[in-house]
A = this chain, B = another copy of it.
Amino acid sequence: MSMDLLIEKIRAKNNPTVAGLDPKIEYVPRYIIDKNYSIYGKNIKTVIESIFEFNKGLIDALCDIVPAVKPQSAYYEMLGYHGAKLLDRTVQYAKEKGLYVICDVKRNDIGSTAAAYAEGYFDKDGYNVNSITVNAYLGSDGIEPFKKYCDESDKSIFVLVKTSNPSSGELQDLRLENGETIYEHMADMVSCWGENSIGKSGYSNVGAVVGATYPHQLTELRERMPHAFFLVPGYGAQGATARDIAGAFDKSGVGAIVNSSRGIMCAYKNSGTSEQNYAQAARDEAIRMRDEILSVL
Protein backbone atom coordinates (compact mmCIF):
# COMPACT_ATOMS: atom_id res chain seq x y z
CA MET A 1 0.00 0.00 0.00
CA SER A 2 1.37 3.36 -1.01
CA MET A 3 0.34 5.22 2.14
CA ASP A 4 1.95 2.42 4.19
CA LEU A 5 5.17 3.05 2.27
CA LEU A 6 5.05 6.75 3.15
CA ILE A 7 4.39 5.91 6.80
CA GLU A 8 7.32 3.44 6.82
CA LYS A 9 9.60 6.13 5.45
CA ILE A 10 8.35 8.59 8.09
CA ARG A 11 9.04 5.98 10.80
CA ALA A 12 12.48 5.12 9.44
CA LYS A 13 13.54 8.78 9.63
CA ASN A 14 11.42 9.55 12.68
CA ASN A 15 10.27 12.67 10.86
CA PRO A 16 6.72 13.50 9.71
CA THR A 17 7.94 16.35 7.50
CA VAL A 18 7.73 16.81 3.75
CA ALA A 19 10.02 19.35 2.14
CA GLY A 20 8.24 21.46 -0.45
CA LEU A 21 10.24 22.03 -3.63
CA ASP A 22 8.59 25.22 -4.91
CA PRO A 23 11.56 26.94 -6.51
CA LYS A 24 11.57 30.48 -7.79
CA ILE A 25 14.71 31.81 -9.41
CA GLU A 26 14.86 34.46 -6.63
CA TYR A 27 15.43 31.66 -4.11
CA VAL A 28 18.50 30.33 -5.91
CA PRO A 29 21.88 31.52 -4.55
CA ARG A 30 23.53 34.06 -6.79
CA TYR A 31 26.72 32.03 -7.21
CA ILE A 32 24.75 29.19 -8.84
CA ILE A 33 23.05 31.56 -11.26
CA ASP A 34 26.35 33.30 -12.09
CA LYS A 35 28.03 29.99 -12.84
CA ASN A 36 25.23 28.89 -15.18
CA TYR A 37 25.07 32.33 -16.78
CA SER A 38 28.74 32.01 -17.67
CA ILE A 39 27.91 28.74 -19.46
CA TYR A 40 24.48 29.41 -21.04
CA GLY A 41 24.28 33.21 -21.16
CA LYS A 42 21.01 35.15 -21.14
CA ASN A 43 18.87 32.13 -21.84
CA ILE A 44 16.08 30.16 -20.20
CA LYS A 45 18.65 27.36 -19.83
CA THR A 46 20.45 29.45 -17.20
CA VAL A 47 17.22 29.61 -15.17
CA ILE A 48 16.41 25.92 -15.61
CA GLU A 49 19.90 24.61 -14.84
CA SER A 50 20.25 26.93 -11.84
CA ILE A 51 16.97 25.77 -10.34
CA PHE A 52 17.81 22.13 -10.99
CA GLU A 53 21.19 22.53 -9.28
CA PHE A 54 19.45 24.23 -6.35
CA ASN A 55 16.84 21.44 -6.09
CA LYS A 56 19.54 18.79 -6.35
CA GLY A 57 21.55 20.43 -3.57
CA LEU A 58 18.46 20.54 -1.38
CA ILE A 59 17.58 16.90 -2.09
CA ASP A 60 21.15 15.78 -1.34
CA ALA A 61 21.14 17.69 1.96
CA LEU A 62 17.69 16.51 3.02
CA CYS A 63 17.36 12.93 1.77
CA ASP A 64 18.61 11.27 4.96
CA ILE A 65 16.50 13.59 7.16
CA VAL A 66 13.09 13.87 5.45
CA PRO A 67 10.99 11.00 4.07
CA ALA A 68 9.32 12.93 1.26
CA VAL A 69 9.43 15.94 -1.03
CA LYS A 70 6.51 17.84 -2.52
CA PRO A 71 7.23 19.71 -5.75
CA GLN A 72 4.52 22.31 -6.32
CA SER A 73 3.73 22.07 -10.01
CA ALA A 74 2.85 25.77 -10.39
CA TYR A 75 6.47 26.83 -9.87
CA TYR A 76 7.51 24.58 -12.74
CA GLU A 77 4.57 25.45 -15.02
CA MET A 78 5.48 29.10 -14.39
CA LEU A 79 8.49 28.43 -16.63
CA GLY A 80 6.29 27.26 -19.52
CA TYR A 81 7.15 23.97 -21.18
CA HIS A 82 10.76 24.19 -20.01
CA GLY A 83 9.42 23.81 -16.48
CA ALA A 84 7.80 20.46 -17.25
CA LYS A 85 11.15 18.85 -17.99
CA LEU A 86 12.64 20.50 -14.90
CA LEU A 87 9.84 18.96 -12.83
CA ASP A 88 10.51 15.56 -14.33
CA ARG A 89 14.26 15.76 -13.64
CA THR A 90 13.55 16.88 -10.07
CA VAL A 91 11.07 14.05 -9.49
CA GLN A 92 13.37 11.38 -10.89
CA TYR A 93 16.33 12.63 -8.87
CA ALA A 94 14.29 12.66 -5.64
CA LYS A 95 13.09 9.10 -6.30
CA GLU A 96 16.67 7.94 -6.95
CA LYS A 97 17.52 9.31 -3.52
CA GLY A 98 14.79 7.17 -1.94
CA LEU A 99 12.33 9.98 -1.31
CA TYR A 100 8.55 9.58 -1.55
CA VAL A 101 7.38 12.15 -4.10
CA ILE A 102 4.06 13.95 -3.67
CA CYS A 103 3.42 16.14 -6.70
CA ASP A 104 1.21 19.04 -5.70
CA VAL A 105 -0.96 19.50 -8.79
CA LYS A 106 -4.52 19.74 -7.38
CA ARG A 107 -5.86 18.25 -10.62
CA ASN A 108 -9.58 17.86 -11.20
CA ASP A 109 -11.74 17.06 -14.21
CA ILE A 110 -14.48 14.84 -15.64
CA GLY A 111 -13.82 11.08 -15.66
CA SER A 112 -12.18 10.60 -19.07
CA THR A 113 -9.96 13.63 -18.53
CA ALA A 114 -9.06 12.67 -14.96
CA ALA A 115 -7.94 9.33 -16.44
CA ALA A 116 -5.54 11.22 -18.71
CA TYR A 117 -4.13 13.10 -15.71
CA ALA A 118 -3.77 9.85 -13.75
CA GLU A 119 -1.79 8.36 -16.64
CA GLY A 120 0.41 11.46 -16.88
CA TYR A 121 1.36 11.53 -13.21
CA PHE A 122 1.24 7.86 -12.22
CA ASP A 123 2.30 5.90 -15.30
CA LYS A 124 5.81 4.56 -15.84
CA ASP A 125 6.01 6.64 -19.03
CA GLY A 126 4.77 9.77 -17.28
CA TYR A 127 6.10 11.57 -14.21
CA ASN A 128 5.57 8.37 -12.21
CA VAL A 129 5.32 10.08 -8.81
CA ASN A 130 4.13 8.27 -5.67
CA SER A 131 1.27 10.61 -4.93
CA ILE A 132 -0.54 13.72 -6.12
CA THR A 133 -2.99 16.20 -4.65
CA VAL A 134 -6.47 16.42 -6.20
CA ASN A 135 -9.51 18.71 -5.93
CA ALA A 136 -12.88 16.93 -5.70
CA TYR A 137 -15.30 19.75 -6.64
CA LEU A 138 -16.46 17.47 -9.50
CA GLY A 139 -17.30 14.52 -7.22
CA SER A 140 -16.41 10.83 -7.66
CA ASP A 141 -15.93 10.95 -11.46
CA GLY A 142 -12.81 13.03 -10.97
CA ILE A 143 -11.43 10.76 -8.24
CA GLU A 144 -12.08 7.22 -9.53
CA PRO A 145 -9.33 7.19 -12.22
CA PHE A 146 -6.74 8.17 -9.59
CA LYS A 147 -8.13 5.66 -7.09
CA LYS A 148 -7.69 2.95 -9.71
CA TYR A 149 -3.96 3.66 -9.74
CA CYS A 150 -3.94 3.75 -5.94
CA ASP A 151 -5.51 0.30 -5.80
CA GLU A 152 -3.63 -1.32 -8.69
CA SER A 153 -0.27 0.43 -8.90
CA ASP A 154 0.57 1.40 -5.37
CA LYS A 155 -0.05 5.13 -5.58
CA SER A 156 -1.79 7.53 -3.21
CA ILE A 157 -3.73 10.77 -3.48
CA PHE A 158 -4.47 13.65 -1.12
CA VAL A 159 -7.87 15.28 -1.64
CA LEU A 160 -8.34 18.95 -0.67
CA VAL A 161 -10.61 19.08 2.38
CA LYS A 162 -9.82 22.25 4.37
CA THR A 163 -7.10 24.30 2.71
CA SER A 164 -4.59 26.52 4.53
CA ASN A 165 -5.23 29.85 2.78
CA PRO A 166 -7.07 32.79 4.42
CA SER A 167 -10.10 32.62 2.08
CA SER A 168 -10.58 28.85 2.31
CA GLY A 169 -13.69 29.38 4.44
CA GLU A 170 -15.53 31.33 1.74
CA LEU A 171 -16.74 28.05 0.31
CA GLN A 172 -15.40 25.29 2.55
CA ASP A 173 -16.88 26.63 5.82
CA LEU A 174 -20.40 27.16 4.50
CA ARG A 175 -22.98 25.15 6.37
CA LEU A 176 -25.21 22.67 4.56
CA GLU A 177 -28.87 22.23 5.40
CA ASN A 178 -28.03 19.19 7.55
CA GLY A 179 -25.79 21.39 9.71
CA GLU A 180 -22.47 20.07 8.39
CA THR A 181 -19.91 22.32 6.75
CA ILE A 182 -18.80 21.71 3.17
CA TYR A 183 -15.35 20.63 4.35
CA GLU A 184 -16.92 18.12 6.76
CA HIS A 185 -18.99 16.70 3.91
CA MET A 186 -15.85 16.55 1.76
CA ALA A 187 -14.12 14.72 4.62
CA ASP A 188 -16.87 12.08 4.59
CA MET A 189 -16.55 11.68 0.80
CA VAL A 190 -12.80 11.18 1.23
CA SER A 191 -13.36 8.55 3.95
CA CYS A 192 -15.73 6.77 1.62
CA TRP A 193 -13.28 6.80 -1.32
CA GLY A 194 -10.61 5.36 0.93
CA GLU A 195 -12.52 2.60 2.65
CA ASN A 196 -11.34 -0.20 0.34
CA SER A 197 -7.65 0.67 0.51
CA ILE A 198 -6.85 0.74 4.21
CA GLY A 199 -3.37 -0.69 4.72
CA LYS A 200 -1.65 -2.31 7.66
CA SER A 201 -0.88 1.15 9.04
CA GLY A 202 -4.61 1.75 9.44
CA TYR A 203 -4.50 4.49 6.81
CA SER A 204 -5.96 4.35 3.31
CA ASN A 205 -4.45 5.39 -0.01
CA VAL A 206 -6.87 8.32 -0.16
CA GLY A 207 -5.53 11.03 2.13
CA ALA A 208 -6.67 14.57 2.84
CA VAL A 209 -5.14 18.04 2.63
CA VAL A 210 -5.92 19.94 5.84
CA GLY A 211 -4.21 23.26 6.59
CA ALA A 212 -2.16 23.80 9.74
CA THR A 213 -3.52 27.35 9.82
CA TYR A 214 -6.87 25.98 11.05
CA PRO A 215 -5.85 23.95 14.14
CA HIS A 216 -9.40 23.54 15.43
CA GLN A 217 -10.61 22.00 12.17
CA LEU A 218 -7.46 19.89 11.99
CA THR A 219 -8.26 18.28 15.34
CA GLU A 220 -11.94 17.88 14.46
CA LEU A 221 -11.11 16.26 11.11
CA ARG A 222 -8.53 13.89 12.64
CA GLU A 223 -11.37 12.45 14.68
CA ARG A 224 -13.88 12.48 11.83
CA MET A 225 -11.69 10.64 9.33
CA PRO A 226 -9.59 8.13 11.30
CA HIS A 227 -8.29 6.28 8.21
CA ALA A 228 -7.28 9.32 6.15
CA PHE A 229 -3.64 10.31 6.29
CA PHE A 230 -3.19 14.09 6.31
CA LEU A 231 -0.94 16.27 4.22
CA VAL A 232 -0.67 19.45 6.27
CA PRO A 233 0.46 22.67 4.58
CA GLY A 234 0.66 26.07 6.28
CA TYR A 235 3.52 25.50 8.76
CA GLY A 236 6.25 28.13 8.77
CA ALA A 237 5.93 30.76 6.02
CA GLN A 238 2.11 30.61 6.18
CA GLY A 239 2.19 31.18 9.93
CA ALA A 240 1.26 27.93 11.71
CA THR A 241 3.41 26.62 14.56
CA ALA A 242 4.17 23.10 15.82
CA ARG A 243 1.49 23.45 18.49
CA ASP A 244 -1.05 24.16 15.73
CA ILE A 245 -0.33 20.87 13.98
CA ALA A 246 -0.46 18.59 17.03
CA GLY A 247 -4.13 17.81 16.39
CA ALA A 248 -3.32 16.31 12.98
CA PHE A 249 -1.76 13.23 14.61
CA ASP A 250 -3.41 10.22 16.18
CA LYS A 251 -2.66 8.86 19.66
CA SER A 252 0.38 6.95 18.40
CA GLY A 253 1.84 10.11 16.86
CA VAL A 254 1.07 8.93 13.30
CA GLY A 255 -1.47 10.26 10.82
CA ALA A 256 0.04 13.29 9.16
CA ILE A 257 2.97 14.73 7.26
CA VAL A 258 3.65 18.44 7.64
CA ASN A 259 4.93 20.48 4.73
CA SER A 260 7.41 23.33 4.77
CA SER A 261 8.52 24.89 1.51
CA ARG A 262 9.98 28.40 1.75
CA GLY A 263 10.97 27.78 5.39
CA ILE A 264 13.39 25.05 4.30
CA MET A 265 14.34 26.24 0.79
CA CYS A 266 15.09 29.79 1.90
CA ALA A 267 16.53 28.88 5.31
CA TYR A 268 19.88 30.41 4.30
CA LYS A 269 18.18 33.78 3.77
CA ASN A 270 16.26 33.64 7.03
CA SER A 271 19.23 32.48 9.10
CA GLY A 272 21.66 34.94 7.57
CA THR A 273 24.17 32.22 6.58
CA SER A 274 26.18 32.66 3.42
CA GLU A 275 24.43 31.51 0.27
CA GLN A 276 27.17 28.90 -0.29
CA ASN A 277 25.74 27.16 2.79
CA TYR A 278 22.16 27.06 1.51
CA ALA A 279 21.97 23.26 1.60
CA GLN A 280 23.34 23.01 5.14
CA ALA A 281 20.94 25.77 6.25
CA ALA A 282 18.04 23.81 4.72
CA ARG A 283 19.19 20.67 6.53
CA ASP A 284 19.51 22.53 9.83
CA GLU A 285 16.01 23.95 9.43
CA ALA A 286 14.58 20.50 8.55
CA ILE A 287 16.18 19.09 11.73
CA ARG A 288 14.89 22.00 13.82
CA MET A 289 11.41 21.54 12.37
CA ARG A 290 11.52 17.78 12.96
CA ASP A 291 12.50 18.26 16.59
CA GLU A 292 9.88 20.94 17.09
CA ILE A 293 7.12 18.70 15.69
CA LEU A 294 8.29 15.63 17.62
CA SER A 295 8.23 17.69 20.81
CA VAL A 296 4.45 18.20 20.56
CA LEU A 297 3.52 14.61 19.67
- Please list the residues of chain A having a beta carbon within 8 angstroms of any beta carbon in chain B: 22, 24, 72, 74-75, 77-81, 83-85, 87-88, 106-111, 113-114, 116-117, 119-121, 125-127, 135-142, 160, 163-172, 174-177, 179, 182, 185-186, 189, 233, 238
Contacts and interface: CB of A to CB of B under 8 A. Distances in A.
Contacts of A168: 138-139, 141
Number of copies: 2
A109 B164 CA distance: 10
B189 A171 contact: yes
Contacts of A22: 113
Nearest to A119: B78
A289 B110 CA distance: 22
B77 A88 contact: no
A171 B179 CA distance: 15
B75 A81 contact: no
B171 A83 contact: no
A81 B77 contact: no
A166 B138 CA distance: 9
> Which of A84, A125, A172: most chain B CB closer than 10 A?
A84
Contacts of A109: 72, 74, 106
The 6 residue pairs across chains A and B that have the minimum distance between CB atoms: A84-B84, A139-B170, A139-B167, A81-B84, A74-B116, A110-B165
Given A135-B135, A164-B110, A83 B120 contact: yes
Nearest to A111: B165
Contacts of A167: 138-142
Contacts of A119: 78
A160 B172 CA distance: 15
Contacts of A75: 113, 116
A185 B174 contact: yes
Given A174-B176, A174-B185, 13 more contacts: A22-B113, A74-B117, A77-B117, A77-B121, A77-B126, A78-B116, A81-B88, A81-B127, A106-B135, A110-B233, A137-B160, A141-B165, A182-B182
13 contacts: A22-B113, A72-B113, A77-B120, A80-B120, A81-B87, A83-B120, A84-B85, A110-B164, A135-B135, A139-B168, A141-B165, A174-B182, A175-B177
B88 A80 contact: yes
A80 B165 contact: no
Nearest to A166: B141
A126 B179 contact: no
Given A80-B88, A85-B81, A107 B137 contact: no
